[in-house]
Structures are given as C-alpha cells and as structure tokens.
C-alpha cells in the first residue's frame, strides 16, 4: 500500500510539472504579446490633422525686380479656415508648374497665422543671398503652399499650392 502511494505521488508530481510548464508557456506568450503590442503602438501615427478643402490662398500685387533680385507679393486667405503659415518656393525653368527652391523667411517658411478676411500679408524677399544652382537665371514661377501646425508642432501642408507665373 505504501509503495502504491509513493508511486501515485511520483506520478502526480510529473503531472504537476507538466501543468506548471503549460502555465509558464502561456504566461510567457501573453507577456511577449503585451510587449509587441506596446512596441507597435509606438510606431502607429496619432490623430493626423488634415487641411480642410476650403483653404484658399490668393496671391496679390506680385512684382519682381531681376536687377535688384527682389520679389514682392501679398498673401490673402479667401477660404473659410485659418492657416498657420506658408512656404514660398520659386522655379527658374520654363513651363514649370511647381516651385523647387525655398526662398525668404526661415528657409522659405513664413510662420504667419492668416485668418479669413484678414488684411493681405505683405511679403518682401531679397534673394541676393540665396545660393541655389540656376536661381541666378530669371525666375519663372512663384509657388506658395499653406500649412497647419498639429499638436506635436509639425507642419501639415495643404495641397494644392497656389502659383503664379513670373517674368523676372
């Protein structure tokens, strides 16, 4: 009888160790899945701010002087929503439809919040100090792209941009 009991205790211990193994296996799997989930959430983008379709930028009083290398214009918001700033780009190629060289402001960026109905914001750019290949030629395009600033402080650009042909 004692031998039978010893035999049962030994077999029960083996059964318990198998159960402990399964419990550890499940615990490790759950722990790894929680770690992977937290790692993936870090890479997912947060709520993305989008530009409303009714942002409408108007360029007025555009003038340039090739001899003095000056570009002057006014920006007005004819849309329904404010924007936090705009980027100014120019191009020197014939038949261009997009600006490639940022000029003026802070590398082409003007952080001027413009609300609908505000007075036009006057921009005066002296591009003598700009050192882009080919910009010494005449400018053929002025391209202005408005942007909004999201909660993280990043710029979200509103497409399409507003452009006007130049001859200077």
**What is the spatial distance between Cα 132 and Cα 141, in angstroms, rounded to a whole number?**
15
pLDDT tens per residue, range 68-109: 888 999 999 998 989 999 999 998 888 888 888 888 888 889
Given a cut of 80, is residue 143 above it in pLDDT? yes
Cα maximum dimension of the chain: 113
pLDDT at 124: 92
Given a cut of 60, is residue 41 above it in pLDDT? yes
Greater model confidence, 32 or 79: 32
**Tokens representing residue 156 in the block:** 């979200």
pLDDT at 73: 95
Given a cut of 70, is residue 2 above it in pLDDT? no
For 41, residues 6+ apart whose C-beta sits below 8 A from its C-beta are: none
Threshold 0.85, pTM exceeds:
no
pLDDT at 137: 66
Given a cut of 80, is residue 6 above it in pLDDT? no
Could you please report the per-residue DSSP string of 101-156?
EE-STBTTEE---B-TTPPPEEEEEETTS---TTTTS---EEEEEEEEE-TTS-EE
- Taking a C-beta distance cutoff of 8 angstroms, is the pair 101, 142 a contact? no
Q: Phi-psi bin for 18: left (phi > 0), alpha (psi -120 to 50), beta? A: alpha
Q: What's domain 57-165's superfamily in CATH?
A: Immunoglobulins (2.60.40.10)
- Taking a C-beta distance cutoff of 8 angstroms, is the pair 143, 163 a contact? yes
């Amino acid at each position: 009888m004692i031998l039978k009991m010893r035999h049962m205790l030994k077999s029960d211990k083996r059964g318990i160790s198998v159960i402990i193994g399964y419990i550890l296996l499940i615990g490790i799997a759950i722990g790894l899945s929680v770690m992977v989930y937290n790692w993936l959430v870090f890479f997912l983008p947060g709520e993305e701010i989008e530009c409303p379709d009714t942002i409408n930028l108007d360029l007025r009083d555009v003038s340039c002087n090739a001899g003095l290398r000056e570009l002057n214009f006014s920006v007005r918001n004819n849309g329904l929503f404010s924007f936090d700033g705009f980027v100014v780009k120019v191009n020197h190629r014939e038949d261009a439809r997009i600006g490639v060289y940022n000029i003026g402001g802070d590398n082409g960026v003007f952080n001027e919040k413009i609300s609908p109905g505000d007075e036009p914001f006057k921009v005066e750019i002296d591009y003598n100090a700009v050192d882009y290949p080919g910009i010494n030629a005449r400018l053929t395009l002025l391209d202005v792209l408005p942007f909004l600033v999201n909660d993280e402080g990043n710029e979200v650009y509103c497409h399409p941009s507003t452009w006007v042909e130049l001859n200077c």
